[in-house]
Amino acid sequence: MSDDLTRDALRYHAEPVPGKLATALTKPCSTQAELSLAYTPGVAAPVRAIAEEPLDAFRYTGRGNLVGVISNGTAVLGLGNTGPLASKPVMEGKAVLFKQFADIDVFDIEVEAEDPDDFVETVARLGPTFGGINLEDIAAPACFDIERRLAERMDIPVFHDDQHGTAVIVAAGLLNALELQGKALADARIVCLGAGAAGIASMNLLLNLGARAENLRLVDRKGVIHAGRDDLNQWKSAFAVETADRTLEDALSGADVFIGVSGPDLLTREMVASMAAGPVVFALSNPDPEIRPEVARAVRDDLILATGRTDYPNQVNNVLGFPFIFRGALDVRASAINVPMTTAAVRALAELAREPVPSEVLTAYGRDDLAFGPDYIIPTPFDPRLGERVPAAVARAAVDSGVARVELPARYQT
Ligand SMILES: NC(=O)C1=CN([C@@H]2O[C@H](COP(=O)(O)OP(=O)(O)OC[C@H]3O[C@@H](n4cnc5c(N)ncnc54)[C@H](OP(=O)(O)O)[C@@H]3O)[C@@H](O)[C@H]2O)C=CC1
Ligand SMILES: CC(=O)C(=O)O
Ligand SMILES: [Mg+2]
């Protein structure tokens, strides 16, 4: 990151008030009469109602539109285990995105609990506060059990954004990028560097969508995950294949797709040069990608390139997913966010990128033109249609898959 950007970012976070969030009131409270309603004695009325009928919490409190963005800070962006306190700017940032793009309120909660049992116990007890839980920046492999255990204990959606949010955007972007390169997902040779939260979930979703296991190579710090390794946890070993490939370099030779969800500057010029004709390179590590776009583009001009960043074309980042997926889930009071719902989000995102781009987006990006093609494979976060299409698709999938607890809202019934 340049010195200028570092300075600007620190100033943005410090001024005019520290941080990016504050509490807003939704009811007036400036007279004796209003205070009597907001606080004692009036507040006793909704307390009694909710004690008698728990569903009244959705009527009398903000629970139904409130998501907990919760982290223990063990995998903060690509910066590693910075701990919970240093993760707070990211969690506040996720709150900004929930509010800005989907009008969802958020409490960011940073928990001093590296031990999964402590973390699960802490979060599970917060159920009454929230309509949904967005787990963020929790390292693999602990994140897999944490999410499963919380989903089993809680009756609201528990969604690990780095797993499923990322997987949705990777899949939507890849479906479009492969089509532009004239390739099919089922035939594509895909190499994923990073076998953690984002990597494992993205590969699982691609398998669901038609990628073939024998065409996938998952790579961690020790190299290719293959059948001969005896150091693999259960999530990695599900991807162990019989192959002679041992290094990232081996795996990438002739590959169609590189997906990087690992760390900065791990993909070399030579590796990009060795890929098949018309390759797709998603260098998604934040803030610094696996290869800088200008370096990759200098190697070859037939590639489609994406990063997780806002300052390059093709931002493959979970910001395109979690606000809109939760909007759809909350609107039907879903008890979970399941595969039919994430798959519906993939399709909605991929299809939206093929439509003409509205003027708001061109203005936000200072562009005269933007159209489906190698530099526009996925909508931008500022696309106002995202807030209609993705939640509608997710809510419908929730209803169809039986996890919705209220009917599909009229505005989604088109
Ligand atoms: N663009 C986007 O929307 C998103 C991007 N990301 C990015 O993906 C990265 C990983 O995040 P996440 O999955 O949550 O983290 P995890 O800690 O769960 O997983 C990290 C994975 O990356 C691997 N890895 C790290 N460094 C290296 C290296 N030098 N060489 C090879 N493999 C390496 C680790 O290998 P090992 O298992 O051997 O330790 C591990 O498998 C981060 O950079 C993050 O910013 C994540 C989510 C969304
Ligand atoms: C984008 C994001 O969630 C990450 O890099 O961790
Ligand atoms: Mg994250």
- For 100-112, the pLDDT digits (tens) are 999 999 999 999 9
Q: What is the pLDDT of residue 173?
A: 98
Q: What is the pLDDT of residue 374?
A: 97
Is 250 annotated in some ligand binding site?
Answer: no
- For 157-166, the pLDDT digits (tens) are 999 999 999 9
Ligand 3 centroid to 201 CA: how many Å?
Answer: 13
C-alpha dihedral (178, 183, 184, 185), degrees to nearest 10: -50
Mapped onto helix, strand or coil, the DSSP state of residue 307 is strand
Ligand 1 centroid to 301 CA: how many Å?
Answer: 27
Is 407 annotated in some ligand binding site?
Answer: no
In 269-365, where does DSSP find H-type helix? Answer: 269-273, 293-299, 322-331, 339-352, 359-365
Looking at the CA of residue 75, tell me the nearest atom of ligand 2: 6
Is 56 annotated in some ligand binding site?
Answer: no
| 8 Å CB contact between 185 and 209 | yes
65 CB near ligand 1 (under 6 Å): no
pTM of the model: 0.97
DSSP string, 82-96: --HHHHHHHHHHHHH
Q: Which residues are catalytic?
A: 39, 94
Q: Using CA atoms, how far apart are residues 381 and 412, in angstroms rounded to an integer?
A: 21
| 8 Å CB contact between 93 and 317 | no
Where are the CATH 3.40.50.10380 domain residues in the chain? 18-156
**Residue 253 structure tokens:** 């030779």
Is 220 annotated in some ligand binding site?
Answer: no
Q: What is the pLDDT of residue 1?
A: 81
Mapped onto helix, strand or coil, the DSSP state of residue 259 is strand
Q: What is the pLDDT of residue 414?
A: 76
Instruction: List residues near ligand 2 (CB under 6 A).
Output: 77, 137, 161-162, 286, 308, 317-318
Which stretches does DSSP call E strand in 123-271? Answer: 132-135, 158-160, 190-193, 216-220, 223-224, 257-260
Ligand 1 centroid to 224 CA: how many Å?
Answer: 15
Q: First vs last Cα of the chain: how many Å apart?
A: 45
CATH code of the domain made up of 164-307: 3.40.50.720
285 CB near ligand 1 (under 6 Å): yes
CA-to-CA separations, 173 to 170, 280, 334, 390, in angstroms, rounded: 5, 10, 26, 15
Average pLDDT by stretches of 10, the chain with 414 residues: 93 98 96 98 98 97 98 97 98 98 98 98 98 98 98 98 98 98 98 98 98 98 97 98 97 98 98 98 97 97 97 96 98 98 98 96 93 97 96 98 97 88
Which candidate, 309, 307, 306, 339, places its Cα nearest to that of 325? 339
Where are the CATH 3.40.50.720 domain residues in the chain? 164-307
Mutate to test the pocket of ligand 2, among 70, 87, 90 (most ligand atoms within 8 A of CB): 90
Q: Quickly name the fold that domain 18-156 has.
A: Rossmann fold (3.40.50)
71 CB near ligand 1 (under 6 Å): no
